[in-house]
Amino acid sequence: MFLPINRQEMLQRGWKQPDFIYISGDAYVDHPSFGVAIISRTLEAFGYKVAILPQPDWRKDEDFLQFGKPRLGFLVTAGNIDSMVNHYSVNKKRRRKDNYSDQGVAGRRPDRATIVYCQKIKQLFPDSAIVIGGIEASLRRLAHYDYWDDKVRNSILIDSQADLLLYGMGENSIIEMADNLNAGIDIKHLTYLRGSCYKTKSLENISDYVMLPSYQQICTDKRKYAESFKIQSANTDAIRAKKLVEAYQGWYVVQNEPDYPISTQRMDDTYALPYQRTFHPSYRHVPAIDEVKFSITSSRGCFGSCSFCALTNHQGRTISSRSKESIVKEARLLSGFKDFKGYITDIGGPTANFYQPSCKQSLHNGVCPFKNCLAPQVCRNLEVDHRAYRDILKTVAALPGIKKVFVRSGIRYDYLLYDKDDSFFRQLVQHHISGQLRVAPEHIDPKVLNLMGKPDKEVYLKFVEKFENLNRQYRKKQFIVPYFISSHPGSDLESAIQLALYLKEINHIPLQVQDFYPTPATRSTCMYYTGLDPDTMEEVFVEKDPEKKRIQRALMQYTFPENYQLVFKGLTMAKRKDLIGYGSECLIKPKKANA
């Protein structure tokens, strides 16, 4: 049974009042790939009554009033994706489709949804507790550069007027918060929860904290912004991190230490909850379910530390994984669905082949704050072992009713290559690729790769060679689909031309190109805004000229006729007219005389 999404469904359950009203910017999909489903089912398992209010009309009061006042408080999330990323492309153009809404219809949530929903609650229920969470709140928990406003914005706690923010993975902290409220403790006194942020007017009762540069400082001094980001990045690990404090005019925002990684048992319990595994029957179709309906989450966290990814700041670098038994049980469940065709579309996490922590030392002492596991060089303490993950894939693939198990959630190719035992690589090529393997080298230029936190191109080339050799050995016609980013900090016109030449060399023209998108809480976004590498404080080139960004993008698709003029202009600007001609090394042909 789905949780109630309107007053009628609540009354049918015999409830007079919910304990929590959970407001979401997404349509209600009761599947463990959706944060709302996990948090609401976890609360339900601990005896709390949760009413879901999906995509309420923020311009009216009726939706917000239908359940009445919750006994304990409101929970608010923008949904599975930051609402601004959901609404706008990197060119700041409005997207036409919202995969998290019924039939993909856009416009059913407001911009900055967390803030807008909280403001409406404050207006209608001024004395109710408000707790915010999800990716939008988690990555905006402290002051941050906002690409859409092109300025530094306050912590979302300040702008939303919420009482408490829960960041990261929330199963533990949500129950601790709920139990405290249920015990009669006022939410203003919940200042001790790991994985939480709150605002206060006094630091009198706070100890052992690190004071960040103030909001005023980072707004007026980009170097201070970069310094603040570096401190935050060094305090994402539950074992090593300290409290962080950020000063505003009249307020302090306090970030408590991150919650500890979720245990295997807790992960197993989470994924065993009674999800309906589809969208609420009031909808016709929510497109976001299509990619995940027959996929299985095996792990959380990522020690890859790509600069443009915010996972380190959200899920952390320590891997939490489910047991083999839990994953096999879910596979058996999926195989019993009427519309199951025999294919498990994915078993993985943020990075599919990260199923165990990076090293034993990280479990006892925490992950290294100023050192990455894989780039620019692989750490000597990194433990590379695919045996457990390989065994899971093999076991699930052998279950009755299952024809094939695919791996689609992204393979970290360098980690795979560092495994001295190539058994998993062989098994992957033989059994778990549906024609194409998506990998993300992201660029070719060494200076750009270094800023991205990615390995040198030689590592990628070795991976490609091994992949092709194995495909020949097993007589497979499978291909690598590489992903690249244009206009990332550090990428200039020369870098873009290097990438274009590599694409020509491998005879690959991407049908879609991703321009760098500055989203909150990433190292790359810090570089984009400040022009500084926060790790070294050295200056970084950032291309912000719209036409030159279009040229970098066009160079990746140099064969497209509509890109000819931009490619020609770029090569001319770079004094690389040697690449305009009829030779095998040339990107484009000369202009026609009458052109």
Beta strands 196-200 and 164-166: pairing type? antiparallel
* Range of lowest pLDDT (37-41, 261-265, 409-413, 564-568): 409-413
Confidence of residue 376 (pLDDT cuts 50, 70, 90): confident
State the fold for domain 7-196: Rossmann fold (3.40.50)
For residue 593, is pLDDT > 70?
no
Q: What is the DSSP letter of 127?
A: T
**Per-domain boundaries in the chain:** 7-196, 294-434, 462-595
State the pLDDT at residue 312: 85
For residue 107, is pLDDT > 70?
yes
d(CA 17, CA 7): 10
Per-residue model confidence as pLDDT tens digits over 313-342? 889 899 999 999 999 999 999 999 999 999
d(CA 171, CA 169): 6
State the fold for domain 462-595: Transcription Regulator spoIIAA (3.30.750)
Q: How far is CA 146 from CA 36, 165, 526, in A?
A: 25, 19, 10
**Topology agreement, domain 7-196 and domain 294-434:** no
State the pLDDT at residue 65: 98
Burial of residue 144 (CB within 10 Å: 0-12, 13-18, 19+) is: buried
Confidence of residue 370 (pLDDT cuts 50, 70, 90): confident
Per-residue model confidence as pLDDT tens digits over 461-484? 999 999 999 999 999 999 998 999
d(CA 430, CA 435): 11
State the pLDDT at residue 410: 84
Rg (CA), the chain: 25
Per-residue model confidence as pLDDT tens digits over 283-301? 999 999 999 999 999 999 9
In the beta sheet, which residues pair with residue 199? 253
Domain with residues 294-434, CATH architecture: 2-Layer Sandwich (3.30)
Task: Give the position of tokens 């918060």.
Answer: 177
Q: Closest Cα partner for 276 from 62, 14, 1?
A: 1
Assign residue 79 a region: left if phi > 0, alpha if psi is -120 to 50, beta otherwise? left
CA 232, 141, 54: angle at the middle one, nearest 5? 145
Q: How far is CA 581 from CA 400, 495, 564, 577, 592, in A?
A: 58, 20, 13, 8, 11
The mean per-residue pLDDT over the stretch 233-260 comes to 96
State the pLDDT at residue 409: 83
Per-residue model confidence as pLDDT tens digits over 65-100? 999 999 999 999 999 999 999 999 999 999 999 999
Query: Is residue 534 within 8 Å of residue 370, measured between CB atoms?
Result: no
